[in-house]
């Protein structure tokens, strides 16, 4: 798939809409995917979610080796713990937008130190599920 946007989601995001809706909102991951596809317009979107660190790393490798124009990634809990995800993202030489549904800096201290931010082109946090569409539109602008 040429010039596609890869939207990669980490652990527990498949539970959106049911998991702590007072924190993460009522929007489901399927609804997030629809928002991403609409915001992407005519650009193809590869939209994925996994609860497994190694699978997320494999998908980053696939985006790196393929024709992905950019990555929007919500690594979820792996944001704060995964050196393998960080190392995989370091190999991607196109735009990366790190995304968080909540403002991680207003949460408990364990959520304040993102490993991914150091390699991300941009970070979006705290806009809720609508942050995904913002990320897609921003990535499209970066790509020209």
Instruction: Give the residue numbers annotated as catalytic, written as ranges.
Output: 24, 100
How crowded is residue 73: how many other Cβ atoms within 10 Å of its Cβ?
27
- Answer yes or no: is 74 a known binding residue: yes
Listed in sequence order, the residues at least 6 apart from 36 whose beta carbon sits closer than 8 Å to its beta carbon are 5, 7, 45, 47, 72, 132, 133, 136
Copy the structure tokens of residue 86.
């960080």
- Answer yes or no: is 9 a known binding residue: no
| Whole-number Å distance between alpha carbons of 91 and 17 | 33
- Answer yes or no: is 87 a known binding residue: yes
Q: Which residues are annotated as a binding site for substrate?
A: 74, 87, 101-102
Residues annotated in the binding site, as ranges? 74, 87, 101-102
């Amino acid at each position: 798939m040429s010039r596609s946007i890869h939207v990669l989601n980490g652990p527990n995001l498949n539970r959106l809409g049911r998991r702590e809706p007072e924190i993460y909102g009522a929007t489901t991951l399927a609804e997030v995917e629809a928002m991403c596809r609409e915001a992407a317009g005519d650009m193809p979107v590869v939209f994925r979610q996994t609860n497994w660190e190694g699978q997320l790393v494999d998908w980053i490798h696939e985006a790196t080796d393929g024709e992905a124009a950019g990555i929007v990634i919500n690594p979820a809990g792996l944001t704060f713990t995964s050196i393998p995800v960080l190392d995989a993202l370091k190999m991607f030489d196109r735009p990366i937008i790190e995304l968080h549904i909540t403002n991680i800096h207003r949460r408990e201290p364990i959520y304040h130190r993102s490993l991914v931010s150091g390699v991300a082109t941009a970070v979006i946090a705290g806009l809720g599920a609508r942050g995904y569409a913002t990320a897609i539109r921003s990535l499209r602008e970066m790509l020209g």
